Structure 1
Amino acid sequence: MDADDVRELALPLRDAADLDPLLARVGDARVVAIGEASHGTHEYYAWRAALTRRLVEEHGFGLVAVEGDWPDCSRVDRSVRLRPGGEDDPRTALDAISRWPTWMWANDDVVDFCRWLRDVNATRPAADRVGFHGLDVYSLWDSMQELVSWLRENEPGHAEAAVQALRCFEPYGEDGAEYAFATRLAPAGCEQTVVDLLRRLCEERGATTDQGDPDPDARFAAEQNAAVVAGAERYYRSMLAGSAESWNVRDVHMADTLDRLLAHTGRRAVVWEHNTHVGDARATDMADAGMTTVGQLLRERHGTDDVVLVGFGGHRGGVVAGREWGAQIERMVVPPAREGSLEHLLHEALGRDALVVVPRGERPGWLDRRLGHRAIGVVYRPERERWGNYVPTVLGQRYDAFLYLEETTPLQPLHLERPDEHVPPAAHAV
């Protein structure tokens, strides 16, 4: 019977000490990717932070990479690593995030974690401090500005050529959707004038970099901003080709960015993203639509022994989200999980918070059944619970471990959405 099998495998989840079996499963893995079943739930963020603290303190993990923009997270990184020009309080850097949905990272739970991380780093030599980095692809214009500023200061010979090429985007007023539509009429867009140039700049810098570079992290950040510009141009251009293509451009970019961070730092990495990116797409109907995910790419590139994928789910509670793309955030009620779903099965069998570590060998049949698994993104409409908001999932194949929470509460944003903030084109809501 499923309920008996669930109770036999599920472990109590009360405090951070109960994560011991998951840490044992991590072992020597190089990457631990930790998901969330929504972008607006306090408990998902808090448990993810608790697990990350233990990975940093007890297992030597050296960087945290998140589903956020590179320039925004660079400001946070300068603060938590006590780098020159960094804010004394990470809250200031997080509160400055201005791309919708700001609450994903500008919230009390991330502030608490980043303050803790800064305190830990303050006791360590600079080379051993834990970084905080963004993996996402949306920040085309911010990354362009960061790149040009770095070139003007460090490689002025390249700066003017970069400025001329990047002016290709000026007519679109920092509007990715307008750029995407324009490329429909003129398919080449800015690809030839920008992407090739930025790639060449990266290659030339890589070929001439002096091993005695006084600030290799700053050089790496400039090259990453160049990679973001190239990736964002591809992303916005792919939006008109269909959901699967643009999704894949984004997730491949995030996986590529993580690989560059791993190579640059030589450290073990914790990844914070939504379940829909962390989980293996091959265990969901996403694969049927031709979509890949960061979790799938990590397993394919690094092997299943070197990657641990951790998912979250909850039965009922509350969340902050927008009802439409770009809308003001609201506190919303999350109703009890739909009957027949993964969360409903766990609620019926357990009725309490639990940790499930997927066995490596033989495992109970419920882990290999395809069940609906709730996914709440930055847009949420509770009225669609009867037919939407769930991803058909084989739990034992999608994740290596799963944290189930019986009741959840909304996270606390640092500020409401501001009228002047940038809203990226609505391609995907997670």
Structure 2
Amino acid sequence: MLVQRLGAPSDFDPLLERVRDARVVMIGESTHGSYDYYRLREQLTRRLIAECGFSFVAVEGDWPDCDRVHRSVTAAPGGAPDPQTALEHFERWPTWMWANAEVARFCRWLRAWNLEQPEGGRAGFHGLDVYSLWESMQAIFDYLGEEDPTSLEAAQDAYRCFEPYGKRVEEYGAASRFVSARCEEEVVRLLARTREQAMSDGPDRFSAWQNAEVVAGAERYYRAMVAGGPDSWNIRDTHMQDTLDRLLQRYGPDARGIVWAHNTHVGDARATDMAADGMVNIGQLARERHGDDAVALIGFGTYRGTVIAAPRWGSPSEAMVVPPAREGSVERRLHELMPERAVLVFGGDDQPDWVTETADHRAIGVVYDPSFESWGNYVPTRLGERYDALIWCDETTALHPLAVPAVPGEMETYPAGV
């Protein structure tokens, strides 16, 4: 194991040397609301793009919202001159995950960097998640109305199937448990029509295909969610990994991708208690599909600080105090052993016991109650198997959300809010 104190972007050199040849680099976070995570992740991502030629960033966000950001950062026709304008259109709660000053700064840098590159070599920004059923449906209508009116019927059939449930699509999931009528056939027909020509007609048709994949994934997700258990989680993470693989294919045989998502998605589920519960995640799926040598998984951890989160699902966000990590946790051990900021690169024969043994590892979602620290908010983890590297911040501060009004989202994700 290698430990490097962090102070400047150049201190990422040992980590960069480890991951520079990977096809996929996934960079996690143990909260969705820590400034330090976003800032350090940005520094590492800049170097991966500028020095190693990575092709795109794919985040735990909705495809239509992120597509507006993509158009801005690549200076595509119709894209906003300032990426913050696109980020301010993120309306689905929790908006602060991507509509924040830290992401805006990165996207401004990415646009400036891209403007110095040929159009075919510009790095993209994409969403991996499955939630945007209605927004994706509208995007399909907009595209087909202009480019492929003959396929509108399939989209209209799918829309009419969901329409009785309004925008509370979880009601569709509940109803599908008790009646035989489901929207699967309509969605499959829509998906088939958009998939047929997606790879042969440029980025707009690819985006329409991806929106159809979101509609198909959302239909499966909401049916599974009302039943509880791990199925909805697995559908969601499999959809995200499938989206990542489509992006790699779209960008070409030499494409390389960077993923931003929570540790719970990025760190290999097989090195946690998630495996015993029948859950998979994108870190595990990427290793299985592309091979361990082609995938680098990087986690984050902190001992204490402040974080942006919400006390209840759908409620306004606020800055909360993250108390010192509990006894026996990964974070307590790193607090005792490590500098204030460091990067730990795992591997080799000299790994200490605390890297290979199981210990609790903090995981804070968009919903957070610090009083649960004595029994919740942690995932049992074998650190050196879950990640290839971990970025350590002994104390973190809350990030800076943009002033964006949020609309209600879907039912709470399983497990809570990650």
Q: Are 2:53 and 1:60 equivalent residues in the alignment?
A: yes
Moved more, 361-370 or 102-111: 361-370
Aligned-partner SS, 2:167: coil
Q: Hey, what's the Cα distance between the residues in 2 that align with 1:102 and 1:353?
A: 28
- Counterpart of 2:258 in structure 1: which amino acid? V
**Which residue in the other structure is 2:367 paired with?**
379
List aligned pairs for 1:11-410, cutoff 5 A.
Answer: 11-192=4-185, 194-205=186-197, 210=200, 213=201, 216-266=202-252, 267-361=255-349, 363-410=351-398
In the alignment, the residues of structure 2 paired with residue 281 and residue 405 of structure 1 have an alpha-carbon distance, to the nearest angstrom, of 23
**Counterparts of 2:196 and 2:35 in 1: how far apart (Å)?**
45
Give the fraction of aligned pairs with identical amino acids, expressed as a percent: 56
Q: Deviations over 1:177-215 (max 9, x none)?
A: 2111111222542112x2221232134325xx65xx4xx
Q: 1:417 to 1:314 in 2, by over 3 A?
A: farther
CA distance in 1, matches of 2:229, 2:367: 16
| Greater Cα shift, 23-32 or 103-112 | 23-32
Distance 2:411 2:132 in 1: 12
Letter in 2 for 1:326: G
Cα shift at 1:268: 0.7
- Partner of 1:10, secondary structure, is strand
Q: How far did 1:362 drift?
A: 5.0
* Secondary structure class of the residue paired with 1:241: coil
Unaligned runs of 5+ in 1: 1-7
Point out the more displaced range, 306-315 or 163-172: 163-172
Q: C-alpha displacement at 1:364, in angstroms? A: 2.4
TM-score by length of 1: 0.94
Q: Which moved more, 1:292-301 or 1:352-361?
A: 352-361
Cα distance, 1:34 vs structure 2: 0.2
What is the alpha-carbon distance in structure 2 between the residues aligned to residue 334 and residue 417 of structure 1?
25
- Which has the larger displacement, 158-167 or 247-256? 158-167
Equivalent position SS for 1:38: coil
Runs of 4+ with deviation above 6 angstroms: none
For 1:114 and 1:177, the matched residues in 2 are separated by: 33
RMSD value, Cα: 1.3
Note the residue ranges of structure 2 that are not aligned, 5 or more in a row. none
Question: Between Structure 1 and Structure 2, how many residues are aligned?
Answer: 414
Q: Output the CA distance in 2 between the equivalents of 1:223 and 1:187.
A: 27
Deviations 1:383-417 (A, max 9, x none): 00000000000000000000010110000000254
Deviations 1:51-109 (A, max 9, x none): 00000010000100000000000000000000011001000100110000000000000
Matched residue of 2:197: which SS? Answer: helix
SS at match of 1:185: coil
TM-score (norm 2): 0.97
Equivalent residues of 2:307, 2:321 under 8 A apart? yes
